[in-house]
Structure 1
Amino acid sequence: MSEAAKKTDLTDQIEIPGPPDIIETLSRSMADLNTIGKMIAEQEELASEVVNTINAPCFNLVRKIANIEEAVRFLGQDRIVRLATGRSLRGAFFNSNQSFPEEIWNVANRVAVASVLIAKELKLAETDSAYELGLFHNIGMALIYNHTTRYRNIVKAAYRHESGAIGAFEKHHLGISHAELSGQLAERWHLDATAVEVIRYHHSIPWINNAFQTSDDDDKLKLVAMLKLAERIAHSSGFIAQAPTNHEWEKLAPVIMNYLGLNDMQLERLKRNVLEGMKDES
């Protein structure tokens, strides 16, 4: 029996950690902007990461932000909290020297940047919401890997399977999928309900197809379309599983492209633009 074929039931074994104290405080704070800026500034590493993120080329602000206090005044509480929440993931889950968790984080960054660029070009979401969604969508991979290092082989097999049913493949072998865990963590870390739902089901082909056929929640559909496009353009399947073909995208492309009104030529143009923008982030 191959490593990927062995079954492990992690359904009740993985505890969902809460957010760092600063994120818990910020999510509930009614303080004024100056106070919020000072609260984040006390977390020097996080403050630096947030300012560097805001100044990244993909956000394309009209001017460079000098410090976190200025960032809060410029962007407002909600946007800053979303960026701080996303950037907090690295310190919470990716402090080891192991290669696979680092790959997970690097892919999340790629998808986050691609999401921002797609959101701007197609007017699908606010850039900070797009960035947060991209960073959170695969965090469940790190949770699973912390419980079984076999997960690396399992997730590679899931992405390579011709069915494209990544979530179903993981549930068959582990009793849980990384998307479900990512959604649970996103909810505990106070992401809004729409983002949580999209993250939870982003590898469920039946749920996505049904959403585009029956849902009138345009905000949700835009986030789904944006995230799946970002995964496709950022080549998640290649970086995570060295899979040359994104079988999941092949199953979802018709309904997503129809919703966005994109043809093959327009998709290729979007891909070129996004990949060009991602070069500026390196």
Structure 2
Amino acid sequence: MAQPLDMNAIEQALKGFTIPPQPDVLLHIQQLLQQPEPNAQRLATLINLDIGLAGFTLKVVNSAYFGLRTKITSIEHACKFLGVTRVVKLVRSVLLRFTLEQGQQQDPFSQKLWSNALLVATTAATLAKHLDWSQETADDCYTLGLFRNAGIALITAQANNYTDMLRLGLLAGQGYSETEEQRFATCHEILGYLIAQSWGLPAEICNVIAYHHSPALILASDSELEQRLFAMLKLAEHMSGESRILLDLTLDPEWDQFAPQILDVLGLELFQLPELGELLHQHDIKNIYTS
């Protein structure tokens, strides 16, 4: 498992930032899950209390990742068809977006940030299923894709020039975290870790979020799951063209430096990526190999 974050560093990172608490509905849902046999109808009732949450959850359930032949028309149907655990994981991710967007103006970058998060999450989970990873691990890939940049949402709420600052840093050869720490004395990796931890995500996902811009460290983790989650995340970021979407840059320094190790973890070769791009295209998932 990756080295735990230093608590002094965490306290320093939180200066000027507030980690959003879990919404009440998520707390009620987690209490429900602690029961020996969670009631699917009760879960559906809790989700349906918020029309926006229910509607967006159904939208995601019917998206390319789930690839369902039959359209899911209600939360009750989703619970029966997907199971309570998968629906709860999905709802947690949807609530994250709603919570971080609450009371904030939807600027163009924030819209791109969330749409790209969904693209990376869908790409990672689809590829995980293609590689015959377990459904639980594929769902973890999906959750990781949605949560890993949550810290950026906290930073951009205070810095209108975030994208310009980050773009200049990358062009100067700096990494994401290095550029952020110079300006804010923290980085979105740590903030994202704190959000994921406080929202009850598994330790492995939290750790990957904490080090997702520190490839050398996470690839040296003694946890095979952490290595696999990280490698799939980086492959999904690369194939989605994340730096081009978010920053209008073709630079992808982490991939350029660590692609051999990432692909080795996944048991893939570089020449296979266009074929994977075609697979994603068949699932209506945009990627750099077919666009």
| Cα separation, partners in 2 of 1:53 and 1:157, compared to 1, 3 Å | same
Q: Does 1:102 align with 2:111?
A: yes
Per-residue CA shift, 1:128-181, capped at 9, x if unaligned?
322221111111111001122232222223444435x32233223321111211
CA contact (8 A) 2:56 2:94 kept: yes
Q: Does 1:60 align with 2:67?
A: yes
**Which residue pairs with 1:139 in the alignment?**
150
Per-residue CA shift, 1:174-229, capped at 9, x if unaligned?
21111211111111111111111111110113313322xxx1x2222221111111
Q: Does 1:32 align with 2:35?
A: no
| Cα separation, partners in 2 of 1:105 and 1:223, compared to 1, 3 Å | same
CA shift, 1:79, in A, is 0.9
- Identify unmatched segments of 5+ residues in structure 1: 1-8
Distance in structure 2 (CA, Å) of the matches to 1:257 and 1:187: 28
Q: Does 1:47 align with 2:47?
A: no
CA contact (8 A) 1:157 1:241 kept: no
Amino acid at match of 1:136: F
CA contact (8 A) 1:59 1:116 kept: no
**Which residue pairs with 2:95 in the alignment?**
88
CA contact (8 A) 2:232 2:266 kept: no
| Cα separation, partners in 2 of 1:242 and 1:280, compared to 1, 3 Å | closer
CA shift, 1:243, in A, is 1.2
**Which residue pairs with 1:177 in the alignment?**
187
Q: Which moved more, 1:181-190 or 1:117-126?
A: 117-126
**Which residue pairs with 2:201 in the alignment?**
191
- Normalised to the residue count of structure 1, the TM-score between the two structures is 0.87
Q: Does 1:150 align with 2:161?
A: yes
**Which residue pairs with 2:214 in the alignment?**
204
CA shift, 1:279, in A, is 4.0
CA contact (8 A) 2:13 2:186 kept: yes
CA shift, 1:66, in A, is 2.1
4+ long deviations beyond 6 Å: none
**Which residue pairs with 2:123 in the alignment?**
114
Distance in structure 1 (CA, Å) of the matches to 2:31 and 2:226: 24
CA contact (8 A) 1:111 1:230 kept: yes
| Cα separation, partners in 2 of 1:275 and 1:235, compared to 1, 3 Å | farther
Per-residue CA shift, 1:210-264, capped at 9, x if unaligned?
22xxx1x222222111111111111111111111121111112111111222112
Distance in structure 2 (CA, Å) of the matches to 1:274 and 1:16: 34
Distance in structure 2 (CA, Å) of the matches to 1:72 and 1:272: 31
| Cα separation, partners in 2 of 1:183 and 1:229, compared to 1, 3 Å | same
CA contact (8 A) 2:144 2:205 kept: yes
Distance in structure 2 (CA, Å) of the matches to 1:132 and 1:234: 16
| Cα separation, partners in 2 of 1:220 and 1:71, compared to 1, 3 Å | same
Secondary structure of the structure 2 residue equivalent to 1:22: helix
Question: How many corresponding residue pairs?
Answer: 268
**Which residue pairs with 2:9 in the alignment?**
none
CA contact (8 A) 1:41 1:69 kept: no
CA contact (8 A) 2:204 2:226 kept: yes
What is the aligned-residue RMSD (CA, Å)? Answer: 2.2
Q: Does 1:228 align with 2:234?
A: yes
Distance in structure 1 (CA, Å) of the matches to 2:162 and 2:96: 20
Amino acid at match of 1:68: I
Distance in structure 1 (CA, Å) of the matches to 2:187 and 2:48: 36
Per-residue CA shift, 1:28-71, capped at 9, x if unaligned?
32341211111111222111111221111221125322210111
